[in-house]
Structure 1
Amino acid sequence: MTRHGQGTLPTGQYWQGWTVPDPVGVVVLVHGAHEHGGRYAHVAQRLGEAGYASYAPDHPGHGRSPGRRGDIVGLDAAVGGVAATVRAAADRHPGVPLFVYGHSLGGLVALQYLTGEPHERVAGGVVSAPALDTSTATPVQRVVAPLLARVAPGLGVLTLDAETVSRDPQVVADYRTDPLNHTGRMVARTGHAIMTGAAGMPGRLRGLRLPLLVLHGGDDRLMPPSASEVVRRHAGSPDLTVRVYDGLYHEPHNEPEQDEVLADVVAWLDGHVPAR
């Protein structure tokens, strides 16, 4: 049974957590674009059943955090929220190993954090459909994106199709009606942050040494599986597992097969908890 808590980070961002007595590990959940940490409550519940505490910040401009809706301000701001959450979790649970689990934009943010200066107790990461494939952007969009990010950061530039998140109609319906989701277009500054972060990630990945689990739906139409192949090709970690689930859409943790996916995540975490 998990116990829910919430608060505000030094960055001003909202966070929530699901704790269990004497956790074997702590997982910081990093949500994707236009959603919020509350959509991972069922993931936290499953992790709690396995003995893990979970914490989830809302990115700037997302969920209950302040800011223009859908605008993460920049990759550094999103990473800063993750770093602050990890530090807070580490303080709350001394001596317990830490993990970072990021999905989509959150996968990019998690990788940016893990390839930077992660907390000394971070024992590994899980990334789901990381936002590393920007091949759909036209040459013109690539040239214009930096300019728009500066002069019109709130301009809507891209529509995300809710039908692509899951094959479960109820998940899609809930996504569309969730008042904490951003249902407008992706704003220019967030789009530019994704493009620049993805472009720089291959070079950063070469220095990654932490264990990493990568998950992807084989029929993901929002972020193609080729994005996870970027991690496979470039990650320097000697402990790398990439799992592509045939037929699944963008959110493996919200598909009809979510029990299998989350069981795989728990098994991987269990295998990477240092012996006490």
Structure 2
Amino acid sequence: MTDKITSRSFTEQHFNTHDGVSLFYRHWPATGSVRRGAIVLFHRGHEHGARMAHLVDELDLPDFDFFAWDARGHGHSPGPRGHSPSFATSVRDVQTFVDHIGAAHGVPERDLHVIAQSVGAVLISTWAHDYAPKVRGLTLASPAFQVKLYVPFARAGLGLMHKLRGLFFVNSYVKPKFLTHDPRRIASYERDPLISRPIAVNILLDLYAAADRVVADANAITLPVQLLISGSDWVVHHKPQHQFFERLGSAVKTKLELPGFFHDTLGERDRAPAVAAVRAFILERFDAPVPAVDLREAHLRGATADESRALAEPQSPWSPRGAYWALTRAGLRFGGKFSRGVKLGHDTGFDSGSTLDYVYRNAPEGQGALGRAIDRTYLNSIGWRGIRQRKVHVEELIREAMERLAAQHREVRVMDIAAGHGRYVLDAVAASPVKASSILLRDYSDINVRDGTALIAEKELQHIASFVQADAFNRISLASVTPRPTLAVVSGLYELFPDNEMVRRSLAGVGDAVEDRGYLVYTGQPWHPQLEMIARALTSHREGEAWVMRRRTQAEMDQLVEEAGFRKIAQRVDEWGIFTVSLAIRTGH
């Protein structure tokens, strides 16, 4: 139910998510003679797509299709009310919806503009950060980056209760009269049977975590952004909204503060000026598309370069921070006397292929119960959990690429340019119903070549697989590989090297090697919660140097891959937003 029936006709449809859930959406086709693009609407928490349907008429954009979904657990979409397996699952639903709009309705990503409110705006901000889509722009209305919780220590308490009780639901305290001054909107909210007050505690906690990450790292978002801030918002705090705007990496961004407005920004009584501003912003984006911000030299200047240089600066052992990290390193050395994983990290580097293979196996080892307990804690750190999820995603996209090649009746010839021990490639090939005709594993480390060759023998794949010592940054060496691969893999390599010139050289060699319409699986690390700990306390495989990483935003990584002649067609990201895995097709330069 909504407070206004749109004059434009619409259809009710569904699309399937990655986990088989069928989500509901409405589609209003353009009424003009030529469709220019589409507007995609994302509703507030507790609500559904029909609550934004009034914008279809009010924006007065006849040359544009409109789409509005009901998020899982909301409106006509299935699932317990207010619940999703995780916030990251709902972010992936956004990408799936956008892909569906392109496939089913013929509107490519570049011809979409997104309008989102409150929780929906956090969802879209996270999507823009993690997936680096190429839509025309974003309009974010009162994003719920920090919900006003009037009970002291509510967030910490909810986290503790979640650990103790498991899943439970929290009811919204917000009354409709505190959302809008519009009496019709208030009345329709009160009688709408599809409004649901509960929100699952896991989603509430995930919302806070995602918002903290996206606000802190808003520089990674380079899309044109219009931010609307309600001046008298009872539901969310203003400060993170302003911080987000100031940190945005967008070349085009605009902020409109609306005095006296309550939280339902685009459903307020006097919303006409705000709606007019949104309409003008959309038309500007389609009249004069803004070129993407060039990030290929982000290693020289910008937020991640500054962050990396700061982490590489030595600290005085007499300073509080210096003393803290000295104690941390001493603790790790002590732990290494008992924990097999920690000792392996000290011996070979915490970023080495040997360490990663140990992390993949995830079987705590050490001297006695104490050693195994230390090792279990070490292996359960968020970074290593992310690494294991990255392996799952790499294998998933390798198999997808193999199936795509099989559907085209083409040979599957795999090349991994820096395979470590090669476990993820060999596991992926073994689990696929598609047979590979050849597997070439390459690595610069003789230890990795030795142990990877042993793993090939263990899996009885000598008839199709070989392991050679080679430099992943040597363009000529990569380009001269025979037979030419139809699927290249680069996992966990570029994250270890801050210099984009090295990465560009390597990717150029991969582009030279892979057949046209072949595939590339590549990884990225757009964010990490333990960067300082890694830089201050862990050592690299490079002769015991400090392991200082420079993050690459997803947009930066995708630009480097595009320069080498590939176009991204699929992506995965873990629930913490640390590691991404993408699949690209070689389209030529």
Q: Which residue of 2 aligns with 1:100?
A: 114
Q: Which residue of 2 aligns with 1:199?
A: 212
Letter in 1 for 2:260: G
1:190 and 2:203 are equivalent in the alignment: yes
- In structure 2, C-alpha distance between the alignment counterparts of 1:274 and 1:56, rounded to whole Å: 24
Which residue, 71, 74, 88 being the options, matches 1:76?
88
Q: Which moved more, 1:127-136 or 1:173-182?
A: 127-136
SS at match of 1:64: coil
Gaps of 5+ in 2: 1-6, 290-589
Shift of 1:2: 3.0
**Identical columns (%):** 22
Q: Which residue of 1 aligns with 2:10?
A: 4
- In structure 1, C-alpha distance between the alignment counterparts of 2:137 and 2:212, rounded to whole Å: 23
2:46–2:198 CA contact under 8 A, matched in 1: no
Q: What pairs with 1:1-276 in structure 2 (closer than 5 Å)?
A: 2-11=8-17, 12-21=22-31, 22-47=34-59, 49-91=61-103, 92-94=105-107, 97-120=111-134, 122-134=135-147, 136=149, 140-149=153-162, 151-156=165-170, 158-182=172-196, 184-273=197-286
Shift of 1:124: 1.0
Instruction: Provide TM-score, normalisation by structure 1.
Output: 0.90
- In structure 2, C-alpha distance between the alignment counterparts of 1:101 and 1:141, rounded to whole Å: 30
Q: Which moved more, 1:53-62 or 1:15-24?
A: 15-24
1:98–1:123 CA contact under 8 A, matched in 2: yes
The structure that is helix-richer by fraction is 2
Shift of 1:134: 4.0
- In structure 2, C-alpha distance between the alignment counterparts of 1:94 and 1:13, rounded to whole Å: 19
Q: Which moved more, 1:70-79 or 1:204-213?
A: 70-79
Q: Which has the larger radius of gyration?
A: 2
Shift of 1:135: 5.8
Task: Say which structure, 1 or 2, has more relative contact order (CA 8 Å, 6+ apart).
Answer: 1
Taking only aligned residues, the RMSD between alpha carbons, in angstroms, comes to: 2.2
- In structure 1, C-alpha distance between the alignment counterparts of 2:271 and 2:152, rounded to whole Å: 37
Shift of 1:138: 5.8
Letter in 2 for 1:54: F
Shift of 1:274: 5.0
Flag the 1:234–1:139 CA change in 2: closer, same or farther, 3 A. farther
Instruction: Provide TM-score, normalisation by structure 2.
Output: 0.44
2:145–2:237 CA contact under 8 A, matched in 1: no
SS at match of 2:114: strand
- In structure 2, C-alpha distance between the alignment counterparts of 1:272 and 1:262, rounded to whole Å: 16
Letter in 1 for 2:30: V
Shift of 1:230: 2.5
Q: How many positions carry a matched residue from both structures?
A: 274
Flag the 1:192–1:77 CA change in 2: closer, same or farther, 3 A. same
- In structure 1, C-alpha distance between the alignment counterparts of 2:121 and 2:87, rounded to whole Å: 12
- In structure 1, C-alpha distance between the alignment counterparts of 2:118 and 2:242, rounded to whole Å: 14
Gaps of 5+ in 1: none
Flag the 1:82–1:10 CA change in 2: closer, same or farther, 3 A. same
Shift of 1:29: 0.7
Flag the 1:274–1:93 CA change in 2: closer, same or farther, 3 A. farther
- In structure 1, C-alpha distance between the alignment counterparts of 2:70 and 2:79, rounded to whole Å: 11
1:60–1:77 CA contact under 8 A, matched in 2: no
